[in-house]
A = this chain, B = another copy of it.
Amino acid sequence: MSLAMKVERSAAIASAVGRRGYRLTGPRRAVLDVLAGAGEPMTVAAIHAALRPRRANVVSVYRTVNLLAGLGVLRLTPGVSSRQPARYELGEPFAGHHHHLVCQGCGRIEDVAGCLIPADDLARMSQRMRRTRRFRVTEHDLRLLGMCGTCEQ
C-alpha cells in the first residue's frame, strides 16, 4: 500500500470517529497503527504486546476495540479454536474486502486480498436466501482452512 493511500485511510478513519463525537486520542491511534500495519487479525493481548510500553493500558485496548468495532472501523473475526480469544482487524471500508486462510497446524491466519467468490455466484446465493429464507445478505465471510507450507512438512 502506498503512502498516499495510508494517509487517505487515516483521514477516513479520523473522520468516521470524529463525526460521531469521539476523540482520536493517543491510545486509540496507537491501537489503529498496530492493526493497520499487521495484515492479519490480532487478539487484544497481541495488540497490547505490540504497543510500546506505557502507550496504552490493556483496559484501554479493550475499550478501544469495542468502541471502534461499534463504529464499524474495526471488525471482529473468529479465532481458530475456543482457547483463542477473538481477533480484530480494520473494517472492510478501510482494509478492503478480503478473506482468510486459517492454518489448522499452527493457528496462523493470513489475509487474502479481494474476493474469491465470483460476483454472479454471490448474487445468485443472495437471491436464493432472500426467497427461501427471507434473509437479506449484506456481507459474507469466507475462511479457507487447511495447512500452510511450513506445517505441511
- List residues of A whose CB falls within 8 A of some B CB: 65-66, 69, 76-79, 81-82, 85-86, 101, 103-104, 110, 112, 116-118, 121, 125-126, 128-129, 133-149, 152
Partner of A142, one of B81, B134, B141: B141
> Which B residues are in CB contact (< 8 Å) with A138?
104, 145-147
Bound complex: CA of A35 vs CA of B133, how far in Å?
22
**What 4 new A-B contacts, CB under 8 Å, besides A82-B85, A134-B149, A142-B142?**
A133-B148, A139-B146, A140-B143, A140-B144
Bound complex: CA of A66 vs CA of B118, how far in Å?
36
From A152, which residue of chain B is reached at the shortest CB distance?
B136
Contact A76 B81 (CB under 8 A): yes
Partner of A145, one of B79, B112, B140: B140
> Which B residues are in CB contact (< 8 Å) with A144?
125-126, 129, 135, 137, 139-140
Determine how close the nearest CB of chain B comes to the CB of A74; give it in whole angstroms: 10
Contact A142 B145 (CB under 8 A): no
A76-B81, A82-B66, A86-B82 known; A133 and B112 CB under 8 Å? Answer: yes
Bound complex: CA of A78 vs CA of B69, how far in Å?
17
Partner of A121, one of B66, B103, B118, B137: B118
